[in-house]
Amino acid sequence: MKFNIAVLPGDGVGPEVVTEAVKVLEVAGERFGHEFRLHYGAVGGVAIDQHGVALTDDTLKLCKRCHAVLLGAVGGPKWDDPLAKVRPEDGLLALRKGLRLFANLRPVKVFPMLVNSTTLKPEVIRGVDLLVVRELTGGLYFGKPKKRWQTARGRHAVDSMLYSEKEIERILRVGFELAMGRRKKLVSVDKANVLESSRLWRQVATEVATEYPQVELEHMLVDACAMRLIQRPAYFDVVVTENTFGDILTDEASMLAGSMGMLPSASLAAVPKAGVMAFGLYEPIHGSAPKRAGQNVANPVATILTCAMMLRYSLGLEKEAQVVENAVISALEAGYRTYDIMDEGGTRTGTREMGDLIAKSMKA
Ligand code: IPM
Ligand code: MG
């Protein structure tokens, strides 16, 4: 089969990790007889330098014409001035909104060979395999009013946590559908003891649950969830939550896996169902790590696992996705480690070398 993929390497280590992911994608193409046509575009700081905006209309159009988008990372000190008119992150937010990517999937799986590479006790994180479904185009990030103003009493600012029942319903559906394919346990996270939007969220969650009697639904307050994630992370299967809560909880959850360099993500424009291809944008959850850029040290595993998610959710290639994931496990089992997951007895491996090892193991 032939697929069109928009590739937006972005800033910092983005281009390096994307290069390795593309390597892996090409091997998957050769092995299974697919053609992945790659269309490169600029986003983030590089787009600001070249075009004065973090996302051009052309790049957005390019993404819309493709089956999926592969993104590296955006941002860096060069564009960090708080008074700057445009920020690299604006490109990411414009892509999410412009491509209607309302469902952000962030799986956190602790690999058994890395249980000693985190700051938590091995017995706490062993067996952790959870998935956070974060609402991505609503809530505080996009709700209006969103502004600053000044009165005689000083400066004021407002952001709005706004949700419609339609927005809540479709993200809850994503949670339930994905829970159906897993351990059938869904935790819906909110702050219903304080926030009106959370009370609507909870009500809609309970309503959607009637359509999924096989899935056990639990409501959890966001502060309790933050605590439970550290205390007993293996408790969770699928977690579904609004945009800002999801942003914070996923950074927290990422530490269970030892390094952000291990974790992929998918942002989808449709409810994923078995056999249905959903348009999506795929990016590692780590940032552009400007200090590590250009040194061949960044961990490409997150971006490579991101490609596996792309194969699965947007291209309908489940078998190919598993081959990529198994190749990652082989490289880790053989003891290869980038700096961020380095442990005693591991073999220190660079970005390119890790990509080569994973690609080679896919051919075997
Ligand atoms: C993320 C990031 C972004 C977000 C930033 C870079 C705008 O933290 O993807 O989690 O807040 O959503
Ligand atoms: Mg974040």
Q: Could you state, in chain order, the average pLDDT of each consecutive group of 10 residues for the chain (364 residues)? A: 97 98 97 97 97 97 98 97 92 96 97 90 95 98 96 98 98 97 98 98 98 98 98 98 97 92 96 88 96 98 98 96 98 96 93 98 90
Structure tokens at 59: 């790049």
| Domain identity same for 148 and 238 | yes
- Statement to judge: residues 295 and 226 lie in one domain: no
Task: Give 226: exposed, middle or buried? Use CB within 10 Å, 0-12, 13-18, 19+.
Answer: middle
269 and 337, same domain (yes or no):
yes
Ligand 1 contact, 247 CB (< 6 A): yes
Beta pairing, strands 35-40 & 2-10? parallel
224, 270: one domain: no
**Which residue CA neighbors atom 7 of ligand 1 most closely?**
89
Phi, psi (degrees; rounded to nearest 5) at 37: -90, 120
Q: Which atom of ligand 1 is nearest to the CA of 96?
A: 12
Name which residue sits closest to atom 6 of ligand 1, judged by CA: 89
Give the ligand at the shortest distance from the Cα of 87: 1
The closest alpha carbon to 17, from 363, 285, 320, belongs to 285
Domain stop point among 257, 283, 315:
257
Number of domains in the chain: 2
Q: Is residue 326 part of a domain?
A: yes
212 and 124 in one domain?
Answer: yes
- Report how far ligand 1's centroid is from the alpha carbon of 33 (Å): 35
Q: Could you give the maximum distance between any two Cα atoms of the chain, in Å?
A: 71
For the chain, give the percent of residues with pLDDT over 90.
Answer: 94
Residue 13 lies in domain: 1-104+265-364
One domain for residues 129 and 250: yes
Ligand 1 centroid to residue 124 C-alpha, Å: 27
pLDDT of residue 57: 97
Q: Please check whether residue 113 lies inside any domain of the structure.
A: no
274 and 306 both lie in a single domain: yes
Give 80-125 pLDDT, tens digit per residue.
998 899 999 999 999 999 999 999 999 999 999 999 888 899 999 9
Cα-to-centroid distance, 245 and ligand 2 (Å): 10
Ligand 1 center–CA 340 separation, angstroms: 21
Separation of alpha carbons 303 and 321, rounded Å: 13
CA distance 11 to 294: 11
Among 80, 89, 159, 255, residue to substitute to test ligand 1 (most atoms within 8 Å of Cβ)? 89
d(CA 190, CA 77): 34
Flag whether 110 is in a domain: no
Test site for ligand 1: of 92, 108, 252, 288, most ligand atoms within 8 A of the Cβ:
92
Half-sphere exposure of 196 (CA within 13 A, CB side): 5
Tokens of 122: 């091995």
CATH number of the domain bearing residue 39? 3.40.718.10
* Shared domain check, 148 and 271: no
> Both 140 and 243 in a single domain?
yes
User: In the listed set 193, 227, 257, which residue is the last one of a domain according to the structure?
Assistant: 257
Determine which residue's CA is closest to atom 2 belonging to ligand 1: 247
From the CA of 27, how far away is ligand 2's center (Å)? 31
Ligand with the closest atom to the CA of 94: 1
**Ligand 1 atom nearest to 247, measured from its CA:** 10
Residue among 105, 247, 248, 286 to mutate when testing ligand 1 (max atoms within 8 A of CB): 247
CA distances from 322 to 126, 144, 319, 325 (A): 21, 42, 5, 5
Q: Name the residue with tokens 């590739």.
A: 7
Predicted TM-score of the model (pTM) = 0.96
Other CB atoms within 10 Å distance of the CB of residue 331: 23
List, for residues 147-203, the tens digit of each pLDDT value.
Answer: 999 999 999 999 999 999 999 999 999 999 999 999 999 999 999 999 999 999 999
Query: Does residue 129 share a domain with residue 89?
Result: no
Q: Which two tokens stand for residue 192?
A: 């219903």
Residue 109 lies in a domain: no
Enzyme catalytic residues? 141, 191, 223, 247, 251
The finding on whether 92 has its CB within 6 A of some atom of ligand 1 is yes
Domain boundary pick from 198, 227, 257: 257
Distance 206 CA to ligand 1 centre (A): 28
Indicate the pairing of strand 185-190 with strand 216-221. Answer: parallel
- Domain match, 56 and 124 both: no
Same domain, 125 and 251: yes
* Sheet with 280-284, side-by-side order of all strands: 35-40, 2-10, 68-73, 280-284, 264-268, 103-109, 129-135, 238-241, 185-190, 216-221
Q: Is the CB of 89 under 6 A from ligand 1?
A: yes
> Ligand 1 pocket, 263 CB below 6 A?
no
Closest atom of ligand 1 relative to the 250 alpha carbon: 10
